[in-house]
Structures are given as structure tokens and as C-alpha cells.
Amino acid sequence: MQPQRRRDYFKACKSAAQTALVCLALPLMAACSTTAGTTQTIPSENYNGRVSVLVIHHTSANFEDSVNILTKPSSNSVSSHYLVPDPSDTSYKKDTLEVYELVPESERAWHAGRSYWNGKSALNDDSIGIEVVNQTYCVKADAPSAESSSALNVRSAKRFCFYPDFPESQIEILVPLIDGILKRHPRITPTQIVGHSDIAPDRKIDPGPRFPWHRLYKLGYGAWFDDDVAIKYWNRFLADPVPITNVQMALSAYGYKIEKTGVLDTQTRNVIQAFQLHFRPSEITGEPSTETVAILYALIEKYRANELDDLLSYEQAP
């Protein structure tokens, strides 16, 4: 090949090679640009929100101590998402009541501890916690008494508790707080609004018998029974008492953690007391009275109707 033609040939090959490299690089450059600059979204229907339970507590401490307990690290650190002050508390220095957010709702607060409700354990993972300042206190017995082995709840027999009222202004700021939480977390259905005693009946009594569950229900928040339905079951059970096994099954169906043992043991008394704290505060005995069981079945009919037939299936007493 002549020198000039050889030079033209290699020049043409070099140009073709450069063109090929550019062509190969263009898709890679475009891909890098897309990855770095934008995020594509394909909405999935296969998910749900983290929060499905709202747990209400009382602090048993004043506002200042509650803030320290709920925000400072300790050997047994605890927290909640919200803290609601008490206007009569001298440690609260502001003229008007305000709700305090301590943990964002998107994060996991440490308020429930060892807990269970409606098939789920360790409820810190699934719940929002509200601490309401209410200086309930209990006095422990100096020595064991004859009551501790009687039909009364064993825990109740060992302590004497005092429950202050919840002030009106406190409830007035609590209600819009609950309303906002429910709007942000629609998985919290009426039966998923509970007290600490509901989810830990063996060790907790808060928010106590003076918390206005019925009033909240009338405002549209939480669960409650219908009087006429409870009366229906009361009359039925006066004539045909419910076996303790079925009472245990009904408590479990509603959401409580309870084993079906067929006897009125300590765990059953604790759960019945927690139920009474919520739905029958005039009768906190841990006893499955006809009134308590009638209320339980009225709630089952209203909120767990698919369980009702099985829970009403038992042999009549001779």
C-alpha cells in the first residue's frame, strides 16, 4: 500500500473507533444521569402503617418529674410520644395547658413495656403512647392480710390506691390530640384505644378508674357497650351463668392476654380487674360478676360479632 493511502486508511480506522466508543458510552452516561438525578416511584399496595394501637397512661408523678423521667436516660429509661399536664400541678409553671411532644410519632417510644393486645406483643412497635399527668398513688400493706387469700384480687389486697379526678381543661386538650392521632393513623380502630392496664393487666393500673372512657366514646373516640345489650345479657346470665372458661375465651376474643384454664386464677382476676378499670369502674373486684360478664358480651356483640356464637356455646348449669 502506498504511504498516502496507508495514512488515509489508519485515519479512517481511528475515526471509526472513536465513534464506536462514543456510541457505547452514551447509554452508560444516560443511565448514570438517570440514576443520580431522579427516583422513579411505583406505588405498592403491599404495606400498612406502623401504628395500630393508642395507649393512654397516667404518670403518677407531677409534670416536672414526669418530664425528667420521660426524657432523661436512666437505668430503666422510659418515654412516650406525648405528655399532657395537669393544671392543678404546682410544678407546671405555664398559665395555659399545652400538649408536649416528646417522641415523634414516626419513632418508637418506650412506654408499653411487656405488653399484649389483640394478638400482638411488644406494643412499643405498633403504638403511640400518651402520658397524662395524674398523681395517683398506692400504699402497700405493712403485712399480708387475710384478704390476700380471699376471693378478692391478690394485687388489690396488697395495696390501697387513690385516684384523683382528671381536670376538665386536661380532657379538653387531650381530645383534639387523640383526634389528630386517629386522623393520621386510621388503623387505630375503637377497640385499639386502650389503657396501660389493658395491655399489661398483671402489673399496671393506669390510667385508672377515673379516666373518662365513656365520655371519650360519646365524643367519638374508643369503644363502649350499649346499655340495652348489656341488660339483655345480664338477664340471660342471671338465669344461665357463663362458665369461667367462656369468660376467659371472651376476654381473649376482645383483646386481652389470658390463658384458658377453666379456673378463676390470678391471671384471670388481673385481666377482669383491668377490664373493670376500663368498662366497669364502680366494680373493681377482679370477680366475674353477672354485670361484668354482661358488659363483656355486649362488647363482643358490638365489636367481635363473629366470635359470639362460639362464646355463647356452653352447657347450662343443672
Q: Is position 82 within any domain?
A: yes
- 269 and 151 together in one domain: no
Would 26 be classed as within a structural domain?
A: no
Same domain? 246 vs 186: no
User: Same domain for 178 and 137?
Assistant: yes
End position of a domain, from candidates 184, 218, 252: 218
Considering the domain architecture, whether residues 124 and 232 belong to the same structural domain is answered as no
- Give the end of a domain, one of 193, 218, 243: 218
CATH number of the domain within which 74 lies: 3.40.80.10
Residue 89 lies in a domain: yes
Is residue 270 domain-resident?
yes
Q: Pick the catalytic residue: 101, 107, 131, 283?
A: 131
Q: What is this structure's pTM?
A: 0.83
85 inside domain: yes
Does residue 259 have an active-site annotation?
no
Specify whether 164 is located in the same domain as 269: no
Residue 4 has pLDDT above 70, yes or no: no
Residues 60 and 190 in one domain: yes
d(CA 127, CA 111): 9
Q: Do 81 and 132 reside in the same domain of the chain?
A: yes
The C-alpha cell that represents 180 in the structure block = 389528630
Phi, psi of 129 (to 5 degrees): -115, 135
CATH code assigned at 247: 1.10.101.10
Instruction: Return the pLDDT at 41.
Output: 87
Domain boundary among 218, 253, 272: 218
Residue type at 201 in one-letter notation: P
Structural domain of residue 246, as residue ranges? 227-311
Q: What is the mean pLDDT of residues 215-232?
A: 98
Distances (CA, A) of 15 to 2, 7, 8, 10, 84: 20, 12, 11, 9, 76
In this prediction, residue 141 carries a pLDDT of: 83
- 15 falls within a domain: no
Is residue 32 situated within a structural domain? no
pLDDT tens-digit profile of 256-293? Answer: 999 999 999 999 999 999 999 999 999 999 999 999 99
Q: How far apart are CA 62 and CA 232, in angstroms?
A: 43
CA distances, 232 to each of 152, 193, 205, 242, 304 (Å)? 27, 26, 29, 14, 17
One domain for residues 231 and 149: no
Are residues 212 and 171 in contact, defined by beta-carbon separation less than 8 angstroms? yes
241 in the same domain as 290:
yes
Same domain as 87, residue 209: yes
Do 92 and 59 touch, CB atoms closer than 8 A? no
Whether residues 144 and 210 fall in one domain: yes
User: Could you read off the pLDDT of 117-147 as tens digits, one per residue?
Assistant: 999 999 999 999 999 999 998 888 886 655 5
Residue 302 lies in a domain: yes
- Average pLDDT value over all residues in the chain: 88
- Percent of residues, the chain, with pLDDT higher than 90: 75
Q: Is 154's pLDDT higher than 50?
A: no
Domain total in the chain: 2
| Angstrom distance (rounded) from CA 318 to CA 240 | 10
What residues contact residue 268 under an 8 Å CB cut-off, 6+ apart?
244, 247, 248, 251, 258, 261, 288
